[in-house]
Amino acid sequence: MILSEVFHDIDPIPQNDGPYPVCAIDYPEAFVRAMDYLRALMKINEHSERALELTAVCLRYNPANYTTWWYRRQCLSVLSSNSLQQTSVNDADNDNSKTVDIDLNQKRGDIRGCVYYDPKRVQDDLKLASQLGGSNPKNYQIWYHRRSILEHAFSS
């Protein structure tokens, strides 16, 4: 993923440690750029496929970053909701349109309320979490993410 091409319409937001950082961390340049774009997407509240992919890039550099996992769950929820809404529109011609609309209202991927995750996205996300946790099976953020995803997947 060439970040400057994918995010040509976004101005990256660099990390601001202030004028006198206590302990500056020497991050790899690729990680710095990815996080700069992630901060920009979070600021404008974009929950898109490219935002989801960017969280995967950032997590490959730092799988213990809680904020990145949190934002990933937000993207998954919104994208799953969009898929559900698309299904509702496609099914509107069927006799089941009332059932679909009720289902949509019950499972809307609203990040402030009920959360819905598309089963295919859950499966893909659990694979990513397993890959990222391979070298450190005690990574709390990965386990929290897994639990959160599965908790919502089984409760919806």
Active-site residues, by number, are 138
C-alpha closest to that of 149 among 132, 133, 120: 120
Phi and psi for 101 in degrees, rounded to 5? -65, -40
Q: Label residues 66-82 b or e (16+ Cβ within 10 Å = b).
A: eebbebbbbbbbbbbbe
The four Cα atoms 77, 88, 46, 128 give a dihedral, to 10 degrees, of 40
Residue pair 116/109 in contact by the 8 Å Cβ criterion: yes
Distance between CA atoms of 112 and 74, rounded to whole angstroms?
10
Q: What secondary structure, in 3-state letters, does 23-70 show?
A: CCCCCCHHHHHHHHHHHHHHHHCCCCHHHHHHHHHHHHHCCCCHHHHH
